[in-house]
């Protein structure tokens, strides 16, 4: 047959491969690639200037869509997690206010105090779900930097109707 040399070459290649490599070796290599690719993104790069601290390191307990969740100790508004977003991201169709009010909350899971930024999400009418008002450390309006009664959508670059509030961890007390 004209392709006999091809059969022979294939056989030699297959036998050499079988002699020189093992199936477990291949599985091991594949495992290294799979885990390595996932682990590379976890490398301890300094992310101090990122807006939100890496959430994976934060130990948290409780339901983020419930008003008694630890991060909401000073919130006054609708929880974005109930409105199509999450505690750290605005629902589609809304914009995060850049200016905001910032407070601290005690995290019972690790006993530390964290700095929380309560950015508003703006651009749609009131969400209306999961209203939450806890007001810890809230000050009257004449101390605007510590007042959560302010609609932070007005006056921000977003400048549109208020929809819901985020609770982003931005620092931790030493």
Partner 1 sequence: MSARTLSAAAFACLMMIGSSSLLATEQRQFDYMLNCQGCHLPDGSGNPQRQVPAFSGQLGKFLSVPGGRAYLVQVPGSALSGLSDEALAGVLNWMLETFSAAELPSGFKPYTGTELHEWRQVPVPDIEGVRNELLQRIAHQEEQQRKGT
From CA 116, how far away is CA 134, in angstroms rounded? 14
Task: Give the range of 19-27, 38-46, 60-68, 80-88 binding partner 1 by CB under 8 A.
Answer: 38-46
Segment (H or E) for 152: none
Is 15 a binding residue for partner 1 by CB under 8 A? The answer is no
From CA 77, how far away is CA 160, in angstroms rounded? 16
Is 17 a binding residue for partner 1 by CB under 8 A? The answer is no
Is 85 a binding residue for partner 1 by CB under 8 A? The answer is no
- Burial call 116-152: b when 16+ CB within 10 Å, e when fewer: bbbbbbbbbeebeebebebeeebeeeeeeeeebebeb
Q: Which of 43, 111, 140, 141 binds partner 1 (CB under 8 A)?
A: 43
Residue 120: active-site member: yes
Task: Give the range of 1-9, 14-22, 56-64, 77-85 binding partner 1 by CB under 8 A.
Answer: 56-64
| Residue 133 contacts residue 16 (beta carbons within 8 Å) | no
Is 98 a binding residue for partner 1 by CB under 8 A? The answer is yes
From CA 146, how far away is CA 42, in angstroms rounded? 35
Nearest to 155 by CA among 101, 77, 115, 74: 101
One character per residue 145-164, x = contact with partner 1 (rule: CB under 8 A): xx--------xxx-------
In the set 63, 110, 120, 138, the catalytic residue is 120
In the set 5, 63, 101, 149, the catalytic residue is 101
Report, as residue numbers or ranges, the catalytic residues: 101, 120
Q: List contacts with partner 1 (CB under 8 A).
A: 32, 39, 42-44, 48, 51, 53-54, 56-58, 98-104, 115, 117, 143, 145-146, 155-157, 170-174
């Amino acid at each position: 047959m004209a392709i006999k040399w091809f059969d022979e070459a294939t056989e030699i290649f297959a036998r050499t491969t079988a002699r020189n490599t093992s199936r477990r070796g291949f599985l091991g290599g594949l495992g290294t690639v799979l885990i390595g690719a996932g682990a590379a993104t976890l490398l301890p790069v300094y992310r101090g200037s990122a807006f939100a601290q890496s959430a994976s390191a934060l130990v948290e307990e409780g339901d983020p869509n419930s008003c008694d969740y630890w991060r909401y100790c000073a919130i006054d508004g609708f929880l974005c997690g109930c409105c199509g977003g999450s505690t750290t991201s605005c629902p589609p169709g809304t914009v995060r206010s850049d200016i905001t009010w910032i407070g601290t909350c005690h995290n019972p899971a690790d006993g530390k105090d964290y700095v929380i930024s309560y950015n508003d999400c703006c651009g749609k009418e009131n969400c209306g779900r999961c209203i939450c008002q806890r007001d810890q450390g809230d000050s009257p309006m004449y101390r605007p930097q510590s007042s959560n009664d302010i609609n932070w959508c007005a006056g921000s670059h977003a400048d549109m109707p208020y929809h819901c509030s985020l609770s982003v961890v931005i620092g931790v007390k030493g």
